[in-house]
Amino acid sequence: MSIRKPVVLRDVTVFQKKYQVGQGTYGSVFVGADKVTGGIVALKRINTEQEENGFPITALREVKILKALNHENVVKLKEIVTSKEQNEIPKNVFMVFEYHEYDLTGILETSEIRFTQDHIKSWTMQLLKGVNYMHINQIIHRDLKASNLLISRKGELRIADWGLARSWNPTMKNLTNGVVTLWYRPIELLLGCKRYSPKIDMWSVGCIVAEMFRRSGLLKGHNDASQLSLIFDTCGQPTPESWPNINEMCPLWRNHTPRTDEPIKPNRLKHVLKERLPYPSWMTPNAISLISNLLTLNPGKRWSALEAINADYFYDEPIVKRADELNMKFGVDSIHELGARKKHEQRRMQANGFKK
C-alpha cells in the first residue's frame, strides 16, 4: 500500500538548498534557507523511489516519534515538504528540522575548537535529560552516538536521527538485535540479546561521555568480535555473580564463556579512562564513577538516565552550567561530522603530496 502525497505539504522549492552536512539513517541531510523568511533549516531527504511501498518504515517511525516528543534536548521536526512530480507519489520527501551549527563529532574532531570541562559537563547533563524524557515516554533511540547529537551556537544539545528509534515496553520479547552503531553498541546486543531495555541507550551514553574527555572513541572495534574483545579487555568479563541471568538473556554468551582453567579478565575501565587524555585533571573520580556506572556489563545494574542525572560528578567544581552560560566562541562558525572527515581527508592527501 502506497502513501499518497497530502495536498497540505509544501513544495521543497520554498527552500534554497545550500550544501550537504550529513548522512542520516535513510537519506542525505542538507542545509537550506527559507526563500521568504531567510530562516536556516536542515533538510533530511527521504528517497521514496528505493522503497517498495513508497516510503521507508524507518522514516514513518521517526516522524511519528518526533511528533509525539517535545523536549528542549530533542531535535524539533518543523514540517515535511515534497518534490512535486507528475505522478501522485512524490519522488522525494524532505523532513525539515531546526538547524544547529555543530554536531558533537564535528566538534571533537576539529582541533581548532577548544572547549572546556564546562562544555563536557553541560552537554552530558543535557544528553541525560533528553534520554530520561525519552525513556519516561517509553521510547528507545537505539542509535545514540556523537554524530547524532546536534549542538547550537548557544550551547544547546539536541538528540537527532531517530530512524532506529521505537516505542518500547517491558513485555517485548523479540526486538531487532542489529541496532546501535558498533562503537556504541552494548555488550548484551553483541551477545545476541533480543529482549533488551532502554539500558542499551545508557551504554551508548557512557561511550559518548568518555569520548568527550578523550576527543576520540573509547571502544573502537571493526566488527562484532573485536568490539566484544575490546569490551572484555576494558570492562572485564561477566561472571555468574555479576550477571546471574546472562545465559537466558544472551544466547551467544556460551560461545564466549571462559574455560575453567582461564582467568576471568578484570575490569580495567578506571585505569583506561585515565589514559590518552588531553586534560587528565578533568577526569575526576566522580567522572570515572559516572562513566563506570553507565558502562556496567549487566544492564540490570547499569544506571538509568535518572540515576546518572543525580551523579556526584555534576556537583564537582565547576558545577554543571546551563547551555546559555557556556562560552561558545569556537572560532569555527559551523562543523559537522561530514565536514570534519573531509578536512581530515584533505590534510591526509596533502601530507602524502597530493595537493590540489
- Which residues are the active-site residues? 143
For residues 183 and 207, is the Cβ–Cβ distance under 8 A?
yes
Reported as type and span, the H/E element at residue 81 is strand 77-82
Q: Which three cell numbers stand for residue 77?
A: 521536526
How many CB atoms within 10 Å of residue 139?
21
Q: Containing H/E element for 19?
A: strand 15-23
Q: Which residues contact 210 (CB under 8 A, 6 or more apart)?
A: 218, 273, 291, 295
Compute the distance between CA of residue 201 and CA of residue 211 in angstroms, rounded to an integer.
15
- Pairwise CA distance, residues 196 & 276, whole Å: 32
Q: Are 123 and 183 in contact (CB under 8 A)?
A: no
d(CA 61, CA 66): 9
Rounded alpha-carbon distances, angstroms, from residue 100 to 45, 70, 186, 313: 17, 17, 28, 27
| Buried-exposed string 99-116: b where 16+ CB fall within 10 A, e elsewhere | bbbbbbbbbbbbeebebe
Nearest to 124 by CA among 100, 155, 98, 154: 155
| Main-chain dihedrals φ then ψ at residue 102, nearest 5 degrees | -135, 160
Where helices occur in 236-304 by DSSP H, the ranges are: 246-249, 269-272, 285-294
